[in-house]
Chain A
Amino acid sequence: MSAGGEGAGSPEPAPSLELVGIDKRFGEVHANKAVDLVVRRGSIHGIVGENGAGKSTLMSIVYGFYEADAGEIRVNGRPVRIRAPREAIAAGIGMVHQHFMLVEPLSVLDNVMLGAEGGALLRAGARKARAELERLSTEYGLAIDPDAIVGDLPVGLQQRVELLKALVRGADILVLDEPTAVLTPEEADHLFRLLRVLASEGKTVILITHKLREIMAVTSRVSVMRRGEMVATLDTADTSPGQLAELMVGRRVLLRVEKGPARLGALRLQVQNLTVVDAKGTPRVRDVSFGVHAGEIVGVAGISGNGQSELLEALAGMRPIAGGRITLGSTEIGPELRDPHVLRRRGLLHVPEDRLRMGLVPPFEACESAILGFHEEERYRAGPLLSRDAVIEDTREKMESYDVRPPAPLLRTSKFSGGNQQKLVLAREIERSPKVLLVGQPTRGVDIGAIEFIHRRLVALRDAGVAILLVSVELDEIMGLADRVVVMCGGRVTGERLTSETDERELGLLMAGVSEQAA
């Protein structure tokens, strides 16, 4: 395997960014172990790795959020010391965060100027920033209305503002952290085209992602991190998704979910003309209808924020509904049954989208999180008290059968990795033998090894006759797992397809709201 970087004294010009022996510990955790990285000027360089492999730490060091314990950062061959984002910007490094750092009520121009106002009065700075924006839009095709309010812009354009912010500050090296997480496939393609233009103009792009498809599509070189170490740097053309996945996990992994055809049973969950309105009175789910049978997985695809979360919460009884009917088995779920607690007892279980805000209580011991929603159950009782022994024993068993690591029921929930937290939630919900299982983003922030495990469990559950509704923003996941897919856009269902009879392009169009006929 052609691991390692390029040899010293290569005839090329100095690399745009060079990391030498970067080492960082957080207490007992060795987040970066003597990491070396060479990024060539004008290249798009991918960095992949599982969660907790150290990618984010490494990039946080490059951007000055942390300082490395040891090692050197060189920009254009010159050693630099970066102790704060300010110094990273001065060194020509810009970052586009996964979660945008924008002030939504302000205009594009204001956001671009923020932190670089150039004096107490805004006029001069504003004029300069406006000129810069104009130049960039002609140079790179980054057109945008400087006076638009950021909060009104679609997500793809908000990301463009982030990119512009970095460029206006003179960034030569752009670090993008999971940039496509919030984009439609269309928007993602557009972003990649843009990145190629930027690279051809001499900018250097570092792309952090866990989507191997994107690495293959857009990068010229790719570095793989595993457990804090840089295990390989390869030319993208010489590698394959399979090889990258293997390098990331350290063993062979199945990227495809193996499953047979679905054997459909009775209709278990039926949603008719469901409308959900949020606290401000804005309709989030509009007139949505679909059904889920025993023994099938129905996927709900859509870009995040298009009503899927509200749909899931309404079905789970966490949100009032403004109209329509929900039928569980043969019972219509009227207002008196619309309570998570009641629905749970009727066999509707829920793996929520956001495990840290809903599925678990981060500061609690793992065993306390493992009974969330079920703490009233008879088996955890000891007279008037909660039986601690029963709770711990029960958690220990779940941890064993779901391979949660470390198997420590008393460890604080927040100390577990994303994958292990998710396994804990799954164990809790699946183990109650659900009739209907609602699953939101089951593999968000979960490492590849655990993804494989979770997918296998879900398929096994389907084959055992559970009706599963899977909400995911990962099209790959929907395509791999679901038997049927319902696409949502702007709160409406824009299409329903059998996964075997559609492709990502068609789903992408439906996700973007292109109507059924046009698609």
Chain B
Amino acid sequence: MSAPIEVPRWVDLALVPALAVVAAFLVAGLVVLAIGENPLSATLILLRGALGSGEGLGFTLYYATNFIFTGLAVAVAFHAGLFNIGGEGQATLGGLGAALVCLRLDFLPAWALVPLGALSAAAFGAAWAFIPAWLQARRGSHIVITTIMFNMLASALLVYLLVNVMGKPGSMSVETRVFAPAAHVPFVHELAAQFGVPIPASPLNLSFVLALAMAALMWVVLWRTRLGYAIRTVGASPTAAAYAGISNTRVIVVAMLISGGLAGLVAVNEIMGVQERLLLEFTSGAGFIGIAVALMGRSHPFGIVLASILFGVLYQGGTELAFDMPSITRDMVVTISGLVILFAGALDGLFRRPLAAAFAGRGKGA
């Protein structure tokens, strides 16, 4: 019979996540202290590495691009009441879709090839999400289980294709040949150079703009369209949706198609923007980070962009940290990310409850 937790909106959207990050850093600092390093200078190295240079910032935003796509993917499904754990597999299939277009249609000019590749990436991601969605909607197979299994299937499928079908002939490495230049999504520093603005080279490419556009589009879709209304109704109250005559089946399938499509777009950043070939494990866990990002961003596109940048900072800054402080390994960085996920996602109520009590108390004094 506990009262619902009610806090002002800005507390919900800004203060609680900020406190979670601070708490995560404090605990991580203790770990750094325990292995005999100075947590303060570690934090400084991390922040400087991620934000202190043009190059570092470029890397940070490049990582963030992946997280925005997967974070939005998780959020859209979440608004329909579905927990899509399959971002990783959907992104992997997105890579396959992008690569097929880039390899087979490479006679096309860039202005046609790049959009087609992106569409194909989204379509393959969506198709991979469709099967678990259909199983959930029609057969009641739990989507958490099926999407996890589909992650493994996707990874196995990619290995098979790269080894037996699509691999570069005469090469030992498990990857396709390099795409034609027309398939390349331009780097931001390349574009800037064309306009005579020299900025340091980094993998940051136009996919970041696509990611921001998708965030804006998802906001419009979720809160300003009939489809978004139907999705949120099914997510918030399946019984009310049934009462309204909104088909749960249709909404589940459509939401998962959008979700899978968004996850598939990771390939535009990684495969078409940076690697320019299809290779194994190119998603490097972005599908899972997307879950943390969506949790932390409270499934709101704006929050997701912010949370993605935070995780971008952790990824990029962490790499620098591992480089500068030899006793801090890559695992340490994973630990810090893990702590952020723990505090922001799993221990959400930790700060929300006391804050709610504090605000209730303030109301009392008023």
Contacts and interface: CB of A to CB of B under 8 A. Distances in A.
A27 to B, nearest CB: 4
Interface in B318-366: 359-360, 363-364, 366
Contacts of B366: 28
Interface stretch (B44-52, B218-226, B288-296, B303-311): B218-226
A360 B240 contact: yes
Contacts of B220: 385
A497 interface: no
B173 interface: no
Contact of A375 (B6, B230, B239, B364): B230
Contacts of A354: 239
Question: Which among A28, A361, A414 has the highest number of chain B CB atoms within 10 Å?
Answer: A361
A364 interface: yes
Given A28-B363, A339-B245, A372-B243, A357 B237 contact: yes
A359 B243 contact: yes
Interface string A235-260: 00000000000000000000000000
Interface string A57-75: 0001000010001000000
B1 A65 contact: yes
Given A358-B240, A363-B236, A385 B225 contact: yes
Given A362-B237, A375-B230, A386 B224 contact: yes
Given A27-B6, A65-B1, A361-B233, A340 B243 contact: yes
Interface residues of B, number: 27
B354 to A, nearest CB: 15
Contacts of A414: 4
A477 interface: no
A346 to B, nearest CB: 12
A193 interface: no
Contact of A364 (B232, B360, B364): B232
Interface in A318-350: 318, 339-342, 344, 350
B229 interface: yes
Interface string A484-497: 00000000000000
Question: Which among A65, A317, A364 has the highest number of chain B CB atoms within 10 Å?
Answer: A364
Interface in B208-264: 220, 224-226, 228-230, 232-233, 236-237, 239-240, 242-246
Interface string A471-510: 0000000000000000000000000000000000000000
B34 interface: no
Nearest to A345: B245
B172 interface: no
Interface in B175-225: 220, 224-225
Nearest to B243: A358
Contacts of A368: 229
A26 B362 CA distance: 11
Question: Which among B6, B228, B359, B366 has the highest number of chain A CB atoms within 10 Å?
Answer: B6
A22 to B, nearest CB: 15
Q: Is the interface of A mostly helix, strand, loop or mixed?
A: loop
B5 to A, nearest CB: 11
A340 B248 CA distance: 13
Contacts of B35: none
A28 B363 CA distance: 6
Given A65-B1, A357-B237, A361-B237, A373 B244 contact: yes
B229 A357 contact: no
B247 to A, nearest CB: 9
Contacts of A342: 245
A60 B1 CA distance: 9
Contacts of A339: 245
A408 B225 CA distance: 22
A25 interface: yes
B360 A27 contact: yes
Contacts of B359: 27
A93 interface: no
Q: Is the interface of B mostly helix, strand, loop or mixed?
A: helix
A339 B120 CA distance: 36
Nearest to A316: B243
A292 to B, nearest CB: 20
Given A358-B239, A364-B232, A372-B233, A26 B360 contact: yes
Contacts of A373: 243-245
Given A359-B240, A372-B233, A341 B224 contact: no
A384 interface: yes
A376 interface: yes
A339 B228 CA distance: 21
Interface string B3-16: 11010000000000
A295 interface: no
A26 B3 contact: yes
Nearest to A380: B226
A318 B363 contact: no
Given A60-B1, A361-B233, A318 B242 contact: yes
Contact of B224 (A28, A352, A385): A385
A388 interface: yes
B240 A375 contact: no
Nearest to A383: B225
A384 B245 contact: no
Nearest to B244: A373
B225 A350 contact: no
Interface string B260-295: 000000000000000000000000000000000000
A373 B364 CA distance: 40
Contacts of B229: 368, 371, 375, 386
B223 to A, nearest CB: 9
Contacts of A371: 229
Contacts of A340: 242-245
Contacts of A317: 245
B240 A357 contact: yes
A361 B231 CA distance: 12
Closest 6 CB pairs of A and B: A341-B245, A340-B245, A373-B244, A358-B243, A27-B363, A357-B239
Interface of B: 1, 3-4, 6, 220, 224-226, 228-230, 232-233, 236-237, 239-240, 242-246, 359-360, 363-364, 366
Given A28-B366, A375-B229, A386-B228, 19 more contacts: A26-B360, A27-B360, A65-B1, A316-B243, A318-B242, A340-B244, A344-B245, A358-B240, A361-B236, A361-B240, A362-B237, A364-B232, A364-B233, A371-B229, A372-B243, A375-B230, A381-B226, A385-B220, A385-B224
18 contacts: A25-B363, A26-B360, A28-B363, A316-B243, A340-B244, A340-B245, A357-B240, A358-B237, A358-B243, A360-B240, A362-B236, A362-B237, A364-B232, A371-B229, A373-B243, A373-B244, A381-B226, A386-B228
